[in-house]
Amino acid sequence: MTYAIHLILAMGIGLFIFGVVRAYPYHKAKYWRSLPAQIISFSETWTDVVIRYGKVRYYAPKVEYVYDVDGVTYHSSRAGFKEQDIRLPAIDKWGAPVDRDTFPWATWTEGAAITVYVDPAHPDQAVIFREPGQAMKSQYLAVMFGGILLFAAWMLLSLV
């Protein structure tokens, strides 16, 4: 019985640490420098994702840009930390088509100015979108909360 209780503790701690490790880059990026950048090339890509009994088309920007940090020019094609953070669905949660002119990259063109976020410790690392997507944020929070619940269950079971 005591091994099972300690297994619950290990699972709770493991889940919590897993969630924190996955969410840490987003927290760290809150302190990155915002700098102007210029788009070299831009296009929009799409992916069909199977959800339940159908497919939903998701759009994402494919962008290459340049930016300067302390007189040094850097090139990047990184829009976000993960594709799930930047892609947007073609339909809303009710199934109605989304106006693609509302996408953050709707006005982007080659030569346009944008803002990027640059890691001060590694200026060659930059992103355009530094926040996690809503789905990713929910997943990280759910994993951490699950770890906390398992820890609470371990505490209750060890009192008995």
Question: How much is the pLDDT for 42?
Answer: 95
Query: pLDDT grade, residue 82 (50/70/90)?
Result: confident
Q: What dihedral do alpha carbons 124, 105, 20, 4 form, nearest 10°?
A: -130
- pTM across the whole model: 0.78
Sign of torsion, CA 85 87 89 92?
A: positive
Average pLDDT score over residue span 103-108: 92
Average pLDDT score over residue span 91-114: 89
Question: How much is the pLDDT for 43?
Answer: 94
Domain spans in the chain, listed from the N-terminal domain onward? 1-30+130-160, 32-128
- On the question of pLDDT at 125 being above 90, the answer is yes
Our measurement of the distance from residue 79's CA atom to the centroid of its chain's CA atoms, rounded to an integer in Å, reads 10
Our measurement of the distance from residue 40's CA atom to the centroid of its chain's CA atoms, rounded to an integer in Å, reads 23
pLDDT (tens digit, 9 = 90+) per residue, 27-58?
Answer: 899 999 999 999 999 999 999 988 777 888 99
